[in-house]
Structure 1
């Protein structure tokens, strides 16, 4: 009888917990640290000592967070034993690092990684699989890629003292050949990334349409007129009163990802949705309208945070229904000038001879002058080497504060050292935080410049 009563009480208690405590995380104070893009092919943890306090303190911030997130924008494997080959289509260059870099990233404190981006299959599906295998072996939770669309879409789960964290990774910026495909009844699914496809519609004024027809006729380019528009140079332009381009998110991808967010919200305590989005371009500090709408929808469906990355520079911060949305956190590690060796495809792109080596590829890509200074591309602008570590403070599931630690990546250092992160001094740091504050102001977010209570450095702060 005692056992029956005990069992009955236990079932009642379990039922009550299931109904009233659903999705209620442990009431603890905890922190979530997030950075943007990581392209790393040189070891950096040798700087983690008192002789380099700006690096050491940066590592401490990441390690002390309960959860630390990053976007891994490269393949990782031992090239000497790799049985695959470079893909014919890349995300812009063949990003590659040795397994030792993953060990260092884990040592820094990162435990949650996005894998969906434009560099996921630089080295083919084989490179994607090799990288994911290393992450799995190291116990690093990742999301955004898989052997088919269903697996690429599903969350990765991280168990923490604050509760169960779900990560859903995706990319609007990806190569066409890297898009994962659905598993069918009779045909296997396609390995790749969890995609966010975009629909782009171009509209031309009467003057523009007339000029397009004139140029096409002059160049003897075939013209097609679908529904009053004009198909020329592989692009359809529709007739309208004025010139404009409208980009919308593919409805099938939108519904599929939001379905995954709802599922993850039911199975975890916190959901992190993350998208690799370069659009509209790397030179835009403003996120595209479709991404703003989608990030808000993801929050409405249960995401506790939305983290954007891709354009290699900062974009604004929004608080939607009490949840942080980071539209881009910029570069955290940006060592994209020291990958060696390079596939022959890179030498062909820049018209170099067959025996050209990596340094000559970079000289051509960034148009290095006779004094050894780049005159084109990322290395010519400091903003691509200035970012933040965002640390979100939670009390249970409520966001109470966000701290933004400004980071500089050695923009004016030589190629051999450029791209390694350190906490910025107050002069550079204040410039970085003020830029982030300015970009966040249109979203109604106020970020102030304050002294870090744990150090003498200045940081950006938002409070509820």
Structure 2
């Protein structure tokens, strides 16, 4: 901190003097001082850190099969957690469904009431923007619920609200800037409309190409088996309902080996453990976060963790903090004083990744165990 303050004071002093006396200095001397000022700015940047915040599945309400699955008019999905979310430099979430005003259900369901297809109004994009979301994954099993038009309208809506996205064949990756940092983002899932989590070779290619364009690489995956019995990361290919849901442990490690910096998982609808591997952060599942109706949010499925990861400008993990929020049926997320998500993720992280132990305090702050 003292180094930062000292460098800042030096830069401020130089800036004031250069601004005041610029017209009196010979051009050669002015160029020399400008170069010195720029070098100090680079040194200051090396000490800066950035907060990337992430949450899990978001489905703010659906008008399919009927409007009874939408919240009351004027109810803001993120009202109770928005002050926290807006503290992030970058905020990520998984859009579990579509943002579209048109499109017919693409699933063959004899009984629409038992057909889990999610169609949120396009106007709901403003809620995401209000909360501060910069980037979202649309790689999951619900992006194709309303066919090609649903996918196109979702992409169009996110673009309208200045939210970067990736994960579909038409947008396998994206690059965006925030606070002087260029971020690269890509997303993967085992589903037909998405870039495949099983094709690790292709995923590595995308990360490698992003590394040439961006300072920090964010990766999202939708993978792993679902439900209460699948909170642990097995380090093998997971199958659920006969589907290959990927080997999320291998996927995450190989992409960090390739140059990824932050990896955010979702899909199991329950929280899973955290790991720091090669100074890079992995959340294996952030569970449900903002899912209105049509979701089972009983017990641990109602935990809605919010993770804030502090990184340097190269993407290296500095420290993190886990905030516990929760949901109830047809109740949007709110902060959880019992800290259920923290207790669950702390235990899972310790059990599943003993070779890379993390130390959590009672407030949710965490960092690698010293000497590990």
TM-score between the two structures when normalised by the length of structure 1? 0.60
Q: Is the 8 A contact 2:215 2:313 kept in 1?
A: no
Task: State the partner residue of 2:306.
Answer: 389
Distance 1:138 1:125 in 2: 20
* TM-superposed deviation, 1:434: 1.6
* CA RMSD after TM alignment: 2.7
Distance 1:332 1:74 in 2: 13
* TM-superposed deviation, 1:139: 1.4
Task: State the partner residue of 1:271.
Answer: 217
Distance 2:58 2:327 in 1: 12
Task: State the partner residue of 2:153.
Answer: 130
Specify whether residues 47 and 74 from structure 1 end up closer, same or farther in structure 2 by C-alpha distance, changes over 3 A only: closer
Task: State the partner residue of 2:317.
Answer: 399
Q: Is the 8 A contact 2:46 2:312 kept in 1?
A: no
Distance 1:260 1:126 in 2: 26
* TM-superposed deviation, 1:445: 2.8
Task: State the partner residue of 1:119.
Answer: 142
Q: Is the 8 A contact 1:433 1:449 kept in 2?
A: no
Q: Is the 8 A contact 1:157 1:166 kept in 2?
A: yes
Task: State the partner residue of 2:196.
Answer: 195
Q: Partner of 1:434: helix, strand, or coil?
A: helix
Specify whether residues 98 and 447 from structure 1 end up closer, same or farther in structure 2 by C-alpha distance, changes over 3 A only: farther
Matching residue within 18, 32, 38 for 2:58: 38
* TM-superposed deviation, 1:89: 5.2
User: CA offsets, 1:291-343, max 9 Å, x none?
Assistant: 11120110111111111001111001111001011000111101133xxxxxx
Q: Is the 8 A contact 2:164 2:174 kept in 1?
A: yes
Distance 1:171 1:432 in 2: 24
Distance 1:408 1:32 in 2: 20
Q: Is the 8 A contact 2:265 2:284 kept in 1?
A: yes
Are residue 141 (structure 1) and residue 141 (structure 2) matched?
no
Q: Partner of 2:160: helix, strand, or coil?
A: helix
User: CA offsets, 1:176-227, max 9 Å, x none?
Assistant: xxx2xxxxxxxxxxxx321224xxxxxxxxxxxxxxxxxxxxxxxxxxxxxx
Q: Partner of 1:120: helix, strand, or coil?
A: coil
Distance 1:92 1:328 in 2: 24
Distance 1:276 1:282 in 2: 14
Unaligned runs of 5+ in 2: 1-27, 62-70, 236-246
Q: Is the 8 A contact 1:76 1:130 kept in 2?
A: yes
Matching residue within 333, 351, 361 for 2:290: 333
Distance 2:163 2:78 in 1: 23
Q: Which structure has the bigger radius of gyration? A: 1
Task: State the partner residue of 1:449.
Answer: 361
Distance 2:180 2:311 in 1: 9
Task: State the partner residue of 1:297.
Answer: 254
Are residue 285 (structure 1) and residue 194 (structure 2) matched?
no
Distance 2:291 2:262 in 1: 24
* TM-superposed deviation, 1:93: 0.9
Distance 1:257 1:336 in 2: 33
Distance 1:328 1:107 in 2: 24
Q: Partner of 2:259: helix, strand, or coil?
A: coil
Are residue 256 (structure 1) and residue 256 (structure 2) matched?
no
Task: State the partner residue of 1:29.
Answer: 49
Report 1:311-326 matches (<5 A): 311-326=268-283
Specify whether residues 322 and 46 from structure 1 end up closer, same or farther in structure 2 by C-alpha distance, changes over 3 A only: closer
Distance 1:327 1:89 in 2: 31
Distance 1:265 1:47 in 2: 33
Task: State the partner residue of 2:117.
Answer: 94
Distance 1:336 1:386 in 2: 15
* TM-superposed deviation, 1:282: 2.6
* TM-superposed deviation, 1:462: 0.9
Q: Is the 8 A contact 2:290 2:333 kept in 1?
A: yes
Unaligned runs of 5+ in 1: 1-5, 49-54, 180-191, 198-252, 338-376, 451-458
Distance 2:175 2:213 in 1: 10
Distance 1:143 1:89 in 2: 26
* TM-superposed deviation, 1:137: 1.7
Report 1:39-438 matches (<5 A): 39-41=59-61, 42=71, 44-45=75-76, 48=79, 55=80, 58-78=81-101, 82=102, 84-88=103-107, 93-147=116-170, 152-153=171-172, 155-172=173-190, 174=191, 179=192, 192-197=193-198, 253-277=199-223, 279-283=224-228, 284-289=230-235, 290-337=247-294, 378-379=296-297, 381-397=298-314, 398-410=316-328, 415=329, 417-418=330-331, 420-425=332-337, 428-429=338-339, 431-438=340-347
